[in-house]
Structure 1
Amino acid sequence: MEVFKNMIHELEIGKENPDGADQGFIGGYFPDLLDKPLFHPPVNGTKLEGTFRLPLGYQMDASYYCKYGAEMPLVFIQAVFYLGIVAVTRLARPSLSKLCYRRADKSISFIQTGLKVIAVWSILAAYIFPVFIIPHTVHPLVGWSLYLLGASALSSIAVNAFLLPILPVLIPWLGILGTLLVMACPWYPDGVVRALAVFVYAFCCAPILWVSMVKILSCLQVSLEREVFLPRLGESTPPAGFNKLY
């Protein structure tokens, strides 16, 4: 009861916490909570002493009683926005096959390098941009679902624009989903084991991520060297100003 009263006092004086919500307050009040053992009700009804972590099942059950109505309109707008991106990219299907430029060896090499850089940065932006616009106080299940939807929707732009294979582009998406599942596993004895499990998972995923990046670059190079992108020898050279997307 003394701990509870002290927590109420901390709320009354407005103690700062990382996210300004309940999870940040709990994490700030119990900074070593992840190192505590998982709570299991004693079979003989004895009283436990010390601090324990509640299992994942409790967190899932408690989410039914938490209200997140203030953030839901923004979440709904973002979800519709991402679904609209998916629909537009599937219907419009923009591609580099509509890129026309003059035949000049130096300019072609420069354009190919520039397109590779743009493709890589567009994929990175697809995974980074949703982080900054998702409400930080939204329910974790809703927030991560919205992030995965946004990352996949924005990645579809790069897939269609640069004619990339979809699986290598979505390898980071699958890796993030796997990380969430590894972190959510409720059978870890303490936070150290959980952190080690995430580290081992990331170590195993790193080679797969590297292979997917190499695959993306190789497919992009093949697409750029196709006949549809570069005019053949003997074809008429377009006008000097014919260097645009149309």
Structure 2
Amino acid sequence: MKRQWPLQHLATGHFLLIILLGAKWSDAGAASPLASSSKAPSSSNAYATILYVGTPRDYEYYIAAHVLLRSLAALHVNADLVLIASQDTPARWIKNLVQEGVRVVQVENIPNPYAHQNGFNKRFIFTLNKLLAWKLTEYERVVMLDADNLVLHNMDELFQCGQFCAAFIDPCIFHTGLFVLQPSLDVFNDMVQRVMAMAENRDGADQGFLTDYFPDLLDMPMFHPPSNGSRLEGKFRLPFGYQMDASYYYLRLKWRVPCGPNSVVTFPGASWLKPWYWWSWPILPLGLSWHDLRASTVGYQEEFLPLAGQAILYIAVILFVIVSMWHGRHDEGCKVCIPKSVWADYGPYIQSFVEKLLKPMCIVVSLLLPMAMVPIASYPLMGWAIAMLGSLAFLSATMDLLRLPLVATFTPWLLSLGSLVVMASPYYRNGLIRALAIMGYVGFATPFLWWALTQVTKSKNVHVEKEPSRSQTVLMKIC
């Protein structure tokens, strides 16, 4: 049963705003092509992607779009490379892309009337900007791409497809991560009118709108490029090889797609495992392929200085701890002094927390905090190296401050390093064997982790004491 988005759920003011914006967009679409562009078109076809700001992930999607466009240029495609960017996109980003030959078309965002619905994902707020590709009437065909696509081969044959073509990675729903279109102001105006009339849209984004706008695509014939180079008319389904869902790769750890060329990999899964995140590898092996592509095209200049600074900081911490330990560990341990007023009400609870939870929590924070400090789009090998170095530094400081046993303190770090080795191994025959190996390692590591926890918890080097009177002489670390 299709879900309806009733208009009565919208506030009256918001509804009137939608009507006004719809009229504005309809008039603008009929009046002119697009707002402004960095240069004139030089081809009859184009590869295009969108970029907008206003979400917590603006920078990473800029990097993704940059890598996508540079990778297409490296494949020597016979088409313009177009970025449809919102007008508030940072000028530095625009300049970088223009200098590399990208035609940047700056536009006003299409307002999203679904944004106030329950469950709407705010990162999709301006994905309806994809509809602006239909205004690129200076081109005969446009291949619209999501920024998270990994393009493996030249796919210029797609420009021979019809008025609308897309691939199905779901049995019944095509994916809008890549589609071919013939620009048309009439189609664009009709789309905008439907958007502003709150047409059926299951996710409030481009995916839900376009699948409802082209409901019969599943019944259309499969696209096969004519050998004579002519263009087809009508709508077509694209072979799966133009939108290979990354999740299929993990079944066999290789591609076996016999229908159509294996040209594009898409990553439609969990947003926190997109390929540009450094931690996505080795959890998902294909993440490294995306980063290798970035290394060969855009590079990592923006991440280098933060990583270098963190490395220097962590090495300094480790050296400081070594010097401290060289001068001898103190036998009296670490004492935490609690004010009398607090001790009277909460003394037993604080003592229980410090003796049972403080030390394990400090170890967990030491392991995780460096990961949060690594720039999110770093190269995975560098990201993990800096994160592990940071964990080593923080664990060293924690061990020295709380007088913890050395082997038990560093056991979780060693087990974490082992898990990375197990996941990153290139010798698995298929995804099932890899999954079994990971589960086997978890079973192997659990007893050691439990032993480390008990040893750290049993350590009596941290003491909680009531604030002493003036006549008492007690070493106070925290008061």
TM-score (norm 2): 0.38
- Do the aligned partners of residues 155 and 24 (structure 1) sit closer, same or farther apart at CA in structure 2, a change above 3 Å counting? farther
Give the secondary structure class of the aligned counterpart of 1:13. Answer: strand
Match of 1:43 in 2: none
The answer on whether the counterparts of 1:112 and 1:224 sit within 8 Å (CA) in structure 2 is no
* CA distance in structure 2 between the aligned counterparts of 1:82 and 1:70, rounded to whole angstroms: 20
Which residue of 280, 289, 308 maps to 1:76? Answer: 308
Higher helix fraction: Structure 1 or Structure 2? 1
Root-mean-square deviation (CA, aligned residues, Å) is 4.4
Q: CA deviation at 1:239?
A: 2.8
1:34 partner amino acid: Y
- Matching residue of 1:97: 333
What residue ranges of structure 2 are gaps of 5+ in the alignment?
1-45, 68-146, 152-176, 178-242, 266-284
- Does the 8 Å contact 1:100/1:242 carry over to 2? no
1:146 matched to 2:386? The reply is yes
Out of 397, 410, 415, the position equivalent to 1:175 is 415
Q: Which residue of 1 aligns with 2:296?
A: 65
Which structure is larger by alpha-carbon Rg, 1 or 2? 2
Q: Could you tell me how far 1:71 is from its partner in structure 2?
A: 0.3
Work out whether residues 370 and 387 of structure 2, in 8 Å CA contact, stay in contact via their aligned partners in 1: yes
1:12 aligns with 2:53: no
Q: Does 1:38 align with 2:278?
A: no
Structure 1: any 5+ residue segments left out of the alignment? 1-7, 41-47, 231-236
Report the CA distance between 1:193 and its aligned residue: 2.5
1:200 aligns with 2:440: yes
Question: Structure 1 residues 108, 224: closer, same or farther in 2, change over 3 A?
Answer: farther
Task: Report the Cα distance in structure 1 between the residues aligned to 2:306 and 2:148, rounded to whole angstroms.
Answer: 21
Match of 2:365 among 125, 134, 144: 125
* CA distance in structure 2 between the aligned counterparts of 1:61 and 1:126, rounded to whole angstroms: 27
Deviations 1:164-221 (A, max 9, x none): 1222111111111111111111122222332222122112211110011111122x13
Q: Give the Cα separation in 2 of the matches to 1:37 and 1:110.
A: 51
**In structure 1, distance between residues paired with 2:306 and 2:423:** 27
Structure-2 change in CA distance of 1:34 and 1:154 (3 Å):
same
Give the total of aligned pairs: 218
Tell me: higher relative CO, structure 1 or 2? Use CA pairs within 8 A at least 6 residues apart: 1
Q: TM-score, normalised by structure 1?
A: 0.68
Aligned residue in 2 for 1:209: 449
1:159 to partner: Cα distance: 0.7
Question: Secondary structure of the equivalent of 2:322?
Answer: helix
Measure the CA separation in 2 of the matches of 1:191 and 1:14.
Answer: 34
Matched residue, 1:158: 398
Q: What amino acid is aligned across from residue 143 of structure 1 in structure 2?
A: G
Relative distance call for 1:175 and 1:98 in structure 2 (3 A) is closer
Moved more, 150-159 or 86-95: 86-95
Q: The residue matched to 2:411 in structure 1 has which SS?
A: helix
Whether the aligned pair in 2 keeps the contact of 1:101 and 1:242 (CA below 8 Å) is no
Give distance in 2, aligned partners of 1:14 and 1:193.
39
Cα offset for 1:111? 6.3
Does structure 1 conserve the Cα–Cα contact (< 8 Å) formed by 2:359 and 2:456? no
Q: Deviations over 1:116-170 (max 9, x none)?
A: 3322211111011112110111111100000110001000111111211222111
Larger CA deviation: 138-147 vs 84-93? 84-93
Matched residues, percent identical? 21
- 2:425 is matched with 185
Cα distance in 2 for residues equivalent to 1:224 and 1:203 = 31
